[in-house]
Chain A
Amino acid sequence: MGSVAMDLKARIPSGPLEQKWDRHKFELKLVNPTNKRKYTVIVVGSGLAGASAAASLGELGYQVKCYCFQDSPRRAHSIAAQGGINAAKNYQNDGDSVFRLFYDTIKGGDFRAREANVYRLAQISVDIIDQCVAQGVPFAREYGGVLANRSFGGAQVSRTFYARGQTGQQLLLGAYSALERQIAAGTVAMFPRTEMLDLVVVDGRATGIVVRDLVTGAIATHCADAVVLATGGYGNVFYLSTNAKGSNVTATYRAYKRGAAFGNPCYTQIHPTCIPVSGDYQSKLTLMSESLRNDGRVWVPKSARDRRVPGAIPESERDYYLERKYPSFGNLCPRDIASRAAKEVCDEGRGVGETGLGVYLDFADAIKRSGEATIRERYGNLFDMYQRITGENPYQLPMRIFPAVHYTMGGLWVDYNLMSTIPGLFVLGEANFSDHGANRLGASALMQGLADGYFVIPYTLGNYLAGLKPGINSPDAPEARAAERETVARIERLLSGRGTGTVDSFHRELGRIMWDDCGMARSADGLKKALGLIPELRDRFWHEVKVPGAGEGLNQSLEKAGRVADFLEFGELMCQDALHREESCGGHFRVEHQTPDGEAKRDDDRYCYVAAWEYRGEGAPARLHREPLAFENVKLTTRSYK
Chain B
Amino acid sequence: MRIALRVWRQRDREDAGRFVSYQADDVNPDMSFLEMIDVVNERLIGQGEEPIAFDHDCREGICGSCSMVINGRPHGPHQGTTTCQLHLRSFADGDTIIVEPFRARGFPVVRDLVVDRSAFDRIVEAGGYVSVSTGNAPDANAIPIAKPVAERAMDAAQCIGCGACVAACPNASAMLFTAAKVSHLGLLPQGQPERDRRVLAMVRRMDLEGFGGCTNFGECTAACPKEIGQWTIARMNGDFLAASIRDLEEMNLRDEPG
Which A residues are within 8 Å of any B CB, using their own CB? 52, 55-56, 59, 70-75, 77, 79-80, 89, 91, 127, 129-136, 138-147, 163-164, 166, 169-170, 173, 176-178, 180-181, 183-184, 190, 192, 215, 244-246, 278-279, 281-284, 286-287, 384-385, 388-391, 454-455, 458, 500, 502, 504-505, 546, 548-549, 553-554, 556-557
Contact = CB atoms under 8 A, between A and B. Distances in A.
A147 B142 CA distance: 10
B64 A75 contact: yes
A145 B58 contact: no
B45 A177 contact: no
A553 B188 CA distance: 43
A546 B57 contact: no
Nearest to B86: A388
Which 4 A/B pairs are nearest by Cβ-Cβ distance?
A145-B144, A134-B137, A177-B129, A130-B137
Contacts of B27: 281
A287 B188 CA distance: 31
B190 A244 contact: no
Contact of A135 (B59, B132, B158): B132
Given A56-B133, A130-B139, A549-B50, 17 more contacts: A71-B55, A75-B64, A91-B141, A136-B185, A141-B146, A141-B150, A147-B140, A166-B62, A181-B129, A281-B38, A284-B59, A385-B85, A391-B30, A502-B42, A504-B42, A546-B46, A548-B50
Nearest to A58: B133
A640 B89 CA distance: 45
A334 B46 CA distance: 44
B111 interface: yes
B136 interface: yes
B247 to A, nearest CB: 19
B188 A74 contact: no
> Which range holds the interface residue count of chain B?
35 or more
Contacts of A181: 125, 129, 131
28 contacts: A59-B133, A73-B121, A79-B63, A79-B160, A127-B135, A130-B138, A133-B137, A134-B130, A136-B185, A144-B144, A163-B157, A170-B157, A181-B125, A192-B118, A244-B57, A244-B58, A245-B59, A279-B28, A384-B80, A385-B61, A390-B30, A500-B46, A502-B45, A504-B38, A504-B42, A548-B50, A553-B11, A556-B53
A389 B60 CA distance: 10
Contacts of B141: 91, 146-147
A145 B145 CA distance: 4
A141 B57 contact: no
B46 A502 contact: yes
Nearest to B190: A136
B137 A131 contact: yes
A359 B53 CA distance: 37
B31 interface: yes
Contact of B12 (A146, A180, A553): A553
B239 to A, nearest CB: 15
A554 B111 contact: yes
A283 B35 contact: yes
Contacts of A548: 44-45, 48-51
Interface string B146-170: 1100110110011011000000000
B214 interface: no
A183 B129 CA distance: 12
A2 B184 CA distance: 54
A286 B61 CA distance: 11
Contacts of A135: 129-130, 132, 190
A143 B147 contact: yes
Nearest to A59: B133
Given A72-B117, A141-B147, A163-B154, A454 B134 contact: yes
A56 B140 CA distance: 19
B114 interface: yes
Contact of A557 (B45, B150, B154): B45
Interface in B37-75: 38-39, 42, 44-46, 48-51, 53, 55-65
Contacts of A502: 42, 45-46
A279 B116 CA distance: 33
Interface of B: 11-12, 27-32, 34-35, 38-39, 42, 44-46, 48-51, 53, 55-65, 80-81, 85, 87, 89, 110-111, 114, 116-118, 120-121, 124-126, 128-141, 143-147, 150-151, 153-154, 157-158, 160-161, 184-185, 188, 190-191
Which of A75, A134, A141 has the most B CB atoms < 10 Å from its CB? Answer: A134
A80 B190 contact: no
Contacts of A91: 141
B188 A79 contact: no
Contacts of B125: 180-181, 183-184
Nearest to B123: A180
Nearest to B48: A548
Given A142-B147, A173-B157, A176-B124, A281 B59 contact: no
B160 to A, nearest CB: 8
B114 A554 contact: yes
B157 to A, nearest CB: 5
Given A130-B140, A133-B137, A138 B157 contact: yes
A282 B30 CA distance: 10
Contacts of A458: 134
A136 B184 contact: yes
A75 B65 contact: yes
B191 A80 contact: no
B134 A56 contact: yes
B134 to A, nearest CB: 4
B59 A283 contact: yes
B132 A72 contact: no
A73 B191 CA distance: 22
Which of B65, B185, B191 has the most A CB atoms < 10 Å from its CB? Answer: B65
A180 B181 CA distance: 13
B42 A134 contact: no
A275 B44 CA distance: 29
A246 B57 contact: yes
Which of A59, A75, A147, A454 has the most B CB atoms < 10 Å from its CB? Answer: A75
Nearest to A245: B57
A180 B124 contact: yes
A77 B133 CA distance: 24
A184 B127 CA distance: 9
B74 to A, nearest CB: 16
A184 B56 contact: no
B31 A169 contact: no
A386 B57 CA distance: 19
